[in-house]
Chain A
């Protein structure tokens, strides 16, 4: 094991994950999920977030259909979709996605179709952005492990 390479990768990982928290992509719930990962379940976090992103994709499609016709928006269905998205984003620590959902819900409550459309667009953007960021993070993890190192614990609290 090349300890220099491992140390560099670990440093990179640490800096990257800290930046994700600092930029508000992630909150403390993500670090709660990381606590649940260990040698017995080394892919727990990446699997859960993968399910979350699948959820995002499905819900966004459904909500997009609800918003299609200006005269016939199903705000109830929309509200239910936003609620689900808000819940699951909260459970994985996807802070920006969750925050958009809060605004989204407000638009639903007052039946503001235009506002909802903007929020939908934003939530789509945010989840895809997070997906890319986390993929980079997980790739770093893999590189560390392949180089024979261990993934650093990062305490953000």
Chain B
């Protein structure tokens, strides 16, 4: 499989064959959940992306906190016109990343006016209570221990469904509790389409980021700030 720096994660996924494949294109679903996934590890990005797609989420995967902020339009003061209608329903981020940790990203998101209501989930390979507490205190919705499994993602899905549902009688009602999860079947999962998640800024695979600068998250990641 050819690898070149800068190839978008989505295109790589296409190369891998993750996508709608032989199925008919479903109608564009504006209610589809859109998740922004942030992880510096390519392997983890591919896995989380697949986990999310198989639970019917649209996914944008980026390799750093900076790229996440860029995607969200939070990286500078300019309000980018094209982000006016950006809809992100969930942000899931690795904790230990070079440059900007998941915790730092969480803080920036919670400080923003446009995205502070978006649930942020932190993933980490280390089960450190102080880390978990700090993230939850800062407003993280949930904390997932890596390696992430399908059951973890299904659980996330359960608090992301729309507030309003059309019932069989045609009436719309507000739900006070989340509806039950849809049954997991391979065919129903393939709604995330290749065509909808296109943002040139967002999906960059940085394969060369193997060396870390000394001032970043040290890999016991004890106390990021």
Stretch in A16-24, A41-49, A113-121 touching the partner: A41-49
A32-B147, A87-B44, A91-B47 given; 7 more Cβ-contact pairs under 8 Å = A36-B47, A36-B150, A40-B21, A44-B50, A55-B43, A91-B147, A92-B43
Of residues 124 through 170 on chain B, the ones whose CB sits less than 8 Å from some CB of chain A are 125, 146-150
User: Residues of B contacting A82 with CB < 8 Å?
Assistant: 219
Partner of B16, one of A33, A43, A79, A86: A43
A41 touches B150 (CB 8 A): no
**Cβ–Cβ contact A36 & B54, under 8 A:** yes
Cβ contacts under 8 Å, B18 to chain A: 41, 44
Q: Which among A29, A54, A79 is the interface contact of B219 at CB below 8 angstroms?
A: A79
Interface centre among A32, A44, A62, A87 (most CB of B within 10 A): A87
> Is residue B41 contacting chain A, with contact meaning CB distance below 8 A?
yes
* 6 nearest CB pairs, A to B: A38-B186, A83-B219, A40-B21, A88-B43, A80-B212, A47-B16
With A36-B51, A91-B47, A91-B146 known as contacts, the answer to whether A50 contacts B1 (CB < 8 A) is yes
A29 touches B16 (CB 8 A): no
**B80 lies within 8 A of chain A by Cβ:** no
For A40, A54, A93, which residue has the most chain B Cβ atoms within 10 angstroms?
Answer: A40
CA distance A59 to B208 in the complex (A): 10
Decide if the interface of chain B is mainly helix, strand, loop or mixed.
loop
A8 to B54, CA, bound (A): 31
Residues in B whose Cβ lies below 8 Å from that of A55? 42-43
**Could you say which residues of chain B place their CB within 8 Å of the CB of A43?**
16-17
A 40-75 binary contact with B (CB < 8 Å = 1; else 0): 111110011011101100110010000000000000
Total A-B contacts with CB atoms under 8 angstroms apart: 99
> Are A84 and B41 neighbours in the complex by a CB distance under 8 Å?
yes
Number of interface residues of A (CB under 8 A): 37
Distance, CA A58 to CA B42, complexed state (A): 13
A80 vs B146: C-alpha distance when bound (angstroms):
17
Interface residues of A in 83-107 (CB under 8 A from B): 83-84, 86-88, 90-93
Nearest-neighbour CB distance to chain B for A35, whole angstroms, equals: 6
> Does the CB pair B125–A48 fall under 8 Å?
no
| A interface residues with partner B (beta carbon < 8 Å) | 29, 32-33, 35-36, 38-44, 47-48, 50-52, 54-55, 58-59, 62, 76-77, 79-84, 86-88, 90-93
| Chain B residues near A38 (CB-CB < 8 A) | 186
Cβ distance A98 to chain B, nearest Cβ, rounded Å? 10
7 examples of A-B residue contacts, CB within 8 angstroms: A36-B51, A36-B150, A41-B18, A77-B211, A79-B218, A90-B125, A93-B147
Q: How far is the CB of A154 from chain B (nearest CB, A)?
A: 16
Question: CB < 8 Å: which of B3, B20, B125, B190 contacts A54?
Answer: B3
**Cβ–Cβ < 8 Å partners of B218 in chain A:** 76, 79
Closest to A66 in B: B211
Using known A-B contacts A51-B46, A76-B218, determine if residue A41 contacts B16 with beta carbons closer than 8 Å: yes
Given known A-B contacts A47-B1, A59-B210, A87-B146, A42 and B17 have beta carbons under 8 A apart: yes
B24 within 8 Å of A (CB atoms): no
Known: A48-B46, A91-B146, A91-B147. A80 touches B211 (CB 8 A): yes
Contact A29 B147 (CB under 8 A): yes
Cβ-closest chain B residue relative to A46? B16
